Chain A
Amino acid sequence: MAKKTIIVFSGEYDKLMAAFIIANGAAAMDDEVVLFFTFWGLNALRKPEATPSSVSATKSGLQRMFGRMMARGPERQALSKMNFVGVGQRLMKRVMRDENVMSLTELIDSAREQGVKIIACTMSMDVMGIRKEELIDDIEYAGVAAYLGEADESNVNLFI
């Protein structure tokens, strides 16, 4: 059994799909998979519902503004190309449904069922004003050393 590590830096729907398709494939091939989420990638881990005011209250004004400007959850993330203010993203999702391609949400669920480990970078959470309460449950929190420790044991490492 080998290990694969992927740094998920990007927050775009298509790039997130690429990361999760590779993660699912590797897990299906019995590999251990670690996804390290940092910066824009963290938005895919946010719960779609509005941030509770008790959580917002712990943020600075700038962090609150950041949090409101970024889309919450996988299905609201924009395409990296031809997004056209969201119209392109919806059209692509329709084609994906017609072609029986798994949605990003389904890919994330499948990856988690298969035991893919998700780590959120606490430093970028601080920078972007994202609190643990806003992210999906049962993930780990760590920094660069934890990622490097995982990458040392991995034979494929990607930055997406």
Chain B
Amino acid sequence: MSATVEELKTLQNTHVVDARGVSCPGPILAAKKQIGGVPVGNVMEILATDSGTLKDVPAWSKKMGHDYLGAFDEAGVIHLYLKKTK
């Protein structure tokens, strides 16, 4: 499942994980730490500056069984979205 950038930008009430300025494997560790607090069906939004997250977050989502929705870069910050499915 994937969404367009416009669709991603309209997502409300996302659970925001701030991993800006953190290098690998920090963003994935932050996502893992916080996914437990996200209700099933809700969207997690990861803010990152490490471009590796564009590959890492989809891979992590797939392995964990969550739906990766997509990402966009805005003013040097990468916004990545995934839907918790279980």
Q: What is the interface of chain A, defined by CB distance below 8 A to chain B? A: 21, 24-25, 27-30, 99-102, 110, 114
Contact = CB atoms under 8 A, between A and B. Distances in A.
Contacts of A27: 32
Nearest to A21: B25
Contacts of B23: 99-102
- Looking at chain B's contact residues, the main secondary structure is helix
B53 to A, nearest CB: 12
B25 A30 contact: no
Nearest to A99: B23
Contacts of B16: none
Q: Give the contact-size bracket for chain B.
A: 10 to 19
B9 to A, nearest CB: 27
B24 A100 contact: no
Given A28-B60, A29-B60, A29-B63, A100 B26 contact: yes
A27 B63 CA distance: 11
Given A100-B21, A100-B23, A30 B64 contact: yes
Interface of B: 21-26, 28-29, 31-32, 60, 63-64
A102 B26 contact: yes
Nearest to B32: A28
B51 to A, nearest CB: 13
Given A28-B60, A29-B63, A21 B22 contact: no
B1 to A, nearest CB: 20
Given A99-B23, A100-B21, A100-B23, A29 B64 contact: yes
